[in-house]
Amino acid sequence: MTDEDMSIETREAPKEEWGNDISPDQDGKLFKKIIQEGIGEGQPKKGDEVFVHYTGRLLDGTVFDSSVERNELFNFKLGEGKVIKGWDVGVATMRKGEKCILTCLPEFAYGEQGAGENIPPNSTLQFEVELFRWRGEDVTGDGGVIKNVINEGSGYQKPSEGSTVNVFLRGSIGEAVIEERELEFCLGEGIEVGVIEGVEKALEKMKTGEEAEIIIKSDYAFGANGNPSLNVPPNTEVTYIVKLISFTKTKASYEYDSVDDRITDATGYKEKGTVYFKSSKYSLALKLYKRGLGIVEKSSVYKEEEKEATKGVRILLHLNMAACYLKLDESYEARQQCEKVLEEDPTNIKAHFRKGQAFQATRDYDEALKCFQEVLKLESTNRSASQQIQVCRQRIKEQREKDKKMYTNMFKKLADLNERDAPPTQDKQEEPVKDAITEAMEKAEELQNGDETMKEESQNGDEPVTA
């Protein structure tokens, strides 16, 4: 009898020892027989990472694969098509510690193609599977936020940063409930209404109507300070039951039909971001500026006339992002934003100034000096630039003095070392030492001469450039 004949026969008359028909349509394509009961009532959900041992056999008993023989648990994400259909359906019916035999007809196994040399086409397969444990979806990729689905949502869309979400939250530590409320807020700005980062990250993975248990490590919850008002101690893991009741998705860049609408929305994000900036909430401000830039950045608008029309608000957003990065001590990113402005507007004074500030933050005073000097070329009365030029020159002078001392001391030690070790009769060995000393003195003289070039006309002061 061929494998194909066997498959046809088993579809028509499944063997009783295969157990219960658990195929979704009850059409005799997947069977399950429990050989060891599990514990508890919980079962893994779609998206959970499950850990199992298995042994796979053909119907004649031939073993073609076994994690047991390798002594290594096999793990996969349930319901995402990473394994054969029989596994996605069958393992979802198991409880912790349960061991069963899944009999998978070809439609729920490897079908007409088979798999390699060991699994012929149209093979019915049997897997002895033991479920050891499972864990929910690792939202953050580092185990910091784990999502266990309680009730599946509907549809396929999920909220993204900027979406307005209506949610129910119940937070707890063990059996103690720390908060319970229903609220509406803008995703990405949850901190303004006391929503922790871990909840926001989980919401981005949820569908309308979905309810989930979210296990959140302290780094994504209340951190090292805890939250005294909610009786949360420092460095404490918390658990939230979250239900996404509804959401309004923010408009994607490609969904805009009018350049005027792009400018209006981008300007709105800029203004909202500036409110956060003035309240010293620089990370939130940066999020809003980025959101606005996503609507009007060059890669988002395709026609040249649209690029030109959105240029003004785009430049302002880049400049304000640079200001945020400076406040957040992220100098390289600040400099990048300034350079993007200068690509479109080489004479932009604020871009040159903030680029100079970014170089100052990394103690690159030579480059910072060039930036502030460029500001004076464009606006000779800019007192802020004049002040920063004086600061840069002073820092450069201090650094040169430090270098001069370092070189002098270094070569003096070298000379002393050579003088001590050199044999008295080998006078010719003194020459390299003299050269080294000469080099040190020349370097020191060069640095001294460099100081003289720093003395120029007196400069004026001004208020710093603001966002």
Q: Catalytic residue positions?
A: 54, 64-65, 84, 110, 127
| Euclidean distance between CA atoms 149 and 237, whole angstroms | 19
Strand partners, 178: none
CA dihedral 89, 90, 95, 97 (to 10 degrees): -140
Q: How far apart are CA 192 and CA 284, in angstroms?
A: 9
Sheet hosting strand 145-151, strand order edge to edge = 137-138, 145-151, 211-216, 238-248, 164-173, 176-186
Q: Report the interhelical angle of 282-296 vs 259-278 (nearest 10°).
A: 170
Give 186's strand partners: 164
Report, in this order, helix, strand and coil percent for the chain, each rounded to 5: 45, 20, 30
Q: Where are the beta strands (DSSP E) in 122-253?
A: 125-135, 137-138, 145-151, 164-173, 176-186, 211-216, 238-248
* Dist. CA 366–CA 180, nearest whole Å: 56
* Cα–Cα dist 281/334, whole Å: 17
Stretch (H or E) spanning 279:
none
Query: What is the C-alpha end-to-end distance of the chain, expressed in Å?
Result: 80
Q: What is the DSSP letter of 51?
A: E
**Structural contact between residues 413 and 440, judged by C-beta atoms closer than 8 angstroms:** no
| Burial (CB count <10 Å: 0-12, 13-18, 19+), residue 278 | exposed
What is the C-alpha separation between 226 and 169, in angstroms, rounded?
Answer: 18
